[in-house]
Amino acid sequence: MVRPLFAALLLFAVSACSASPQKGAAPGTSKAAADTALFAGGCFWSMEYGFEGRRGIVDVSSGYSGGKMAHPTYDDVNTETTGHMETVQVVFDPKTISYETLLGLYWRRTNPLQADGQFCDHGASYHPAIFWRNESQRTAAETSKKAIEKQLGKPVATFVRKAGPFWRAEEYHQDFFRKSAAHYQAYSMACGRDRTLDEIWGKQATHAVAK
Calpha distance 104→197 (Å, rounded): 13
**Cα(125)–Cα(87) distance, integer angstroms:** 9
Contact, 132 vs 141, CB < 8 A? Answer: yes
CA–CA distances in Å: residue 3 to residues 66, 108, 186, 188, 194: 21, 22, 12, 11, 17
Q: Which are the catalytic amino acids?
A: 43
**Torsion sign (Cα): 205, 63, 85, 15:** positive
Rounded CA-CA distance 25/92 in Å is: 7
Do residues 15 and 85 make contact, with C-beta atoms less than 8 angstroms apart? no
Cα 197 to Cα 77: distance, rounded to the nearest angstrom:
26
Positive or negative, the Cα torsion across 98, 100, 101, 105? positive
Please tell me what DSSP assigns to residue 21. B
Cα–Cα distance measured from residue 66 to residue 69, given in angstroms and rounded to the nearest whole number: 9
